[in-house]
Amino acid sequence: ANSTLARLDCANNNIADLGCGQLAEALRTNSALTWLGLASNSIGNEGCQRMAEALSVNRCVTNLDLRLNKIGDSSLKHVSESLATNCTLTSLSIGSLVGNEGLKHLSNALKKDSSTLATLHLGNNAFKHEGLQQLSKALAANRSVTDLGFESNDIDDQGCHFLSQALAVNATVTR
């Protein structure tokens, strides 16, 4: 296994599920890589599931960027489940197809005391205020997230209401 490469940026390529799965397999034994950028590729649910499985055992990756892929609700379910055992991931950027159901899964993970995520960016997704309501409930209790991003979603006034309620009681979100 590579013991020196700390950052790998593979954004804006044509990596699909197969390639993501191969990278995920390498992460299972990697002891150096802390930052993995896979934004703007063609990674779908299968590739994301393999990455989530690798994150369940990986103890090095702190930053994972999966923005602007073909990742939907079922993918976020797998990632959320991996957060239950991963104690090193502190930054997650994900999406393009995540909806309300995906936020429900993520919310369950963020409610746990073991959550280590400090940065959570969910831009360019498809969730609405119903999903944001679930996430806001989790954020009200979460003590690890300090940086949130929701750009380019379909958040309306009701969604802002839910978010403002969470931020009124959450003392850790600073950005």
DSSP summary character for residue 123: -
CB count within 10 Å of CB 174 equals 10
In this model, does residue 114 exceed pLDDT 90? no
* Among the ranges given (48-52, 120-124, 153-157), the one the predictor scored with the smallest mean pLDDT: 153-157
Specify the residue for token string 């649910």: 45
Token digits for 106? 């993520």
Specify the residue for token string 């990986």: 58
On average, the pLDDT of the chain sits at 94
Find the mean pLDDT for residues 142-151.
Answer: 94
Burial of 91 (0-12, 13-18, 19+ CB in 10 A): middle
The 3-state DSSP class for residue 144 equals: coil
Find the DSSP H helices in 28-148: 45-55, 73-82, 100-110, 129-141
Pairwise CA distance, residues 59 & 173, whole Å: 25
Token digits for 14? 């044509």
pLDDT attached to residue 2: 75
> Which of 43, 45, 33, 36 has the alpha carbon at shortest distance from 10?
36
> Over the stretch 69-94, which tens digit does the pLDDT of each residue have?
999 999 999 999 999 899 999 999 99
Burial of 175 (0-12, 13-18, 19+ CB in 10 A): exposed
Helix (H) or strand (E) holding 128: none
